[in-house]
Amino acid sequence: MKTIGIIGGGQLGLMIAEQAAVLGARTVCLDPSADAPAFRVCDDHIVAAFDDAAALEELCRRSDAVTYEFENVPGEILIPLTERYNIPQGYRPLFDSQDRIREKTNARDNGLRVPRFAEVHDRESLMKGIFEIGYPCVFKTRTLGYDGHGQAVIRTPEDIARAEPYLGVPAILEEFVPFDYEASIVMVNDGERIVSFPIGQNIHRDGILDLCIVPAPRMDDAVRARLVEQSEAFMRRCGYTGILAIEYFVKGGELYFNEMAPRPHNSGHYTIEGCTTNQFRELCRYLLGEPLQEPRLVAPTVMKNILGEDLAAAEAVAAETGAEGAQSPEEGVYVHLYGKSVSKPKRKMGHITFVGMTAGEYDARWRGRFVE
């Protein structure tokens, strides 16, 4: 029986471990939190910091293949491990995604359209960037930002003050794209073929994903086909294997690269029940050297992210279903709660997948149950 090592024990590690078990594999997980969600389902675990070189080495030693569910693992520690152990995705997609300047430059150089951008080091370079790009623009820290953290939209000179608390750390200034909607794609590449999951339209609230609607209702077939084609071509050009998610801004027929993640993606959680196979299972197949399966959409699907402020409502829905993760009497409703010990606003605590439901049906029947 093969063992998959997972760097990171959050909800993504939890769901990787669940799907590894379906395929008959063991899992061992490393996370600094003793109550990390993935520890409940992994066969073994290590409590240690992500920059603990000895602990990471031990994880690799116990594993036949190693993956990461957390992209802020220090590259200087991971790189030498890729030379001695089987970390199939390698460090390159992780390294390329950890710095927004590097990420945008890599996307542009490998055939994707990106918003105009400029490096920011201090107030002088910020003002220079605003002069070159113009208003409105978006200030972001280059590293460690997620779910809207470390970002500020600058629409007028008065808004520059929003960026000032972050000056002094490496940053990027980006052109603000007045997009019609955001869409994302999740792909898995085994080196010979790439399987792509159906494209979802993403709706955010306060910089955090709120809903993913599949298939993306505002996307026509020509744009959909082009998004898949260029995303797969980008993955091949970069030499990335394993899993990769890409978020795009869609403006008319134009696609603008926003960001990428070399791990399972929040917008892909719908695939667990909404597709014939899911992002976690295909990642595991890749890690185990098994043939990939082509995913198909079961039915129109809406995935609702559950943050701390929505937890009580989600627990009520779970009670109505009779069991967390089970299909409810309302056919096609699936509740996933991650079992995190501390709930707080804006923290991801779970998700609910509504299979066989359009966005309009979700709005009419379920939207009012959650915080707006």
Is 204 annotated to bind a ligand? Reply is: yes
CA 95 vs. chain centroid, Å, equals 16
Is 220 annotated to bind a ligand? Reply is: no
Is 150 annotated to bind a ligand? Reply is: yes
Is 147 annotated to bind a ligand? Reply is: yes
CA 84/CA 346 separation, integer angstroms = 39
Is 109 annotated to bind a ligand? Reply is: no
Per-residue DSSP letter, 292: P
CA 73/CA 82 separation, integer angstroms = 13
CA 286/CA 293 separation, integer angstroms = 10
Measured torsion, CA atoms of residues 166, 171, 173, 176, in degrees rounded to the nearest 10: -70
Measured torsion, CA atoms of residues 41, 307, 149, 238, in degrees rounded to the nearest 10: 50
Is 258 annotated to bind a ligand? Reply is: yes
Of the CA atoms within 13 Å of residue 1, those in its CB half-sphere come to 10
CA 116/CA 118 separation, integer angstroms = 7
Is 177 annotated to bind a ligand? Reply is: yes
Q: Which residues contact 312 (CB under 8 A, 6 or more apart)?
A: none
How is residue 225 written in tokens?
């086909």
Mutual angle of helices 279-288 and 11-22, in 10-degree steps: 60
Is 182 annotated to bind a ligand? Reply is: yes
Is 176 annotated to bind a ligand? Reply is: yes
CB distance 337 to 324 below 8 Å? yes
Is 368 annotated to bind a ligand? Reply is: no
Is 149 annotated to bind a ligand? Reply is: yes
Is 108 annotated to bind a ligand? Reply is: no
Is 64 annotated to bind a ligand? Reply is: no
DSSP string, 240-300: --EEEEEEEEEETTEEEEEEEESS--GGGTTHHHHBSS-HHHHHHHHHHTPPP----B-S-
Binding residues for ATP, by number, are 100, 140, 145-151, 174-177, 182, 204, 258-259
Binding residues, by number, are 100, 140, 145-151, 174-177, 182, 204, 258-259
